[in-house]
Structures are given as C-alpha cells and as structure tokens.
Amino acid sequence: MLANSDAFKRELNLIGGEWVAADSGETLNVDNPATGEIIGTVPKSGKAETQRAIEAAQAAFETF
C-alpha cells in the first residue's frame, strides 16, 4: 500500500533536488478527513521555503 511507502515518511521539502527541513523545524499532521486518522506528517513551511522552491522551479524551467 502507498501509505506504507518511504515516500510518505519524509518530513522534508524537496527544493532544488534536495530534501530539506522547514526552517522552523516544525511539522504538521495530515489527517484522513473520512476517519480522522493521521496518515502523514509534512513540514510546516513558511514564506522563505516557498520562495526558495519558486526560485528553484524557475531555474529548472529555464533549462527545458
């Protein structure tokens, strides 16, 4: 099952091809809305991480 995959166990952002934690070091739980069960955890990212992701995406786009 996909929920057991390592891909869902990372509490990191993929920015510019590298896995990085949120600057705050905090995470948020992801709940299944049907059951309330916690199905994952994601980084609690802010403006700085978002800006870095946008810049990395723009740089990658320019190479296509």
Query: pLDDT tens digits, residue range 15-46?
Result: 999 999 999 999 999 999 999 999 999 999 99
Q: Which domain holds residue 10?
A: 2-62
pLDDT above 90 covers what percent of the chain?
Answer: 78
Is the full-model pTM beyond 0.75?
no
Predicted local distance difference test score (pLDDT) of residue 8: 56
DSSP symbols for 6-59: GGGT--SEEETTEEE--TT--EEEEE-TTT--EEEEEE---HHHHHHHHHHHHH
Say how far apart CA 63 and CA 60 lie, in whole Å.
Answer: 5
How many Cα atoms within 13 Å fall on the side-chain side of residue 50?
4
Count up the domains in the chain and report the number: 1
Predicted local distance difference test score (pLDDT) of residue 64: 83
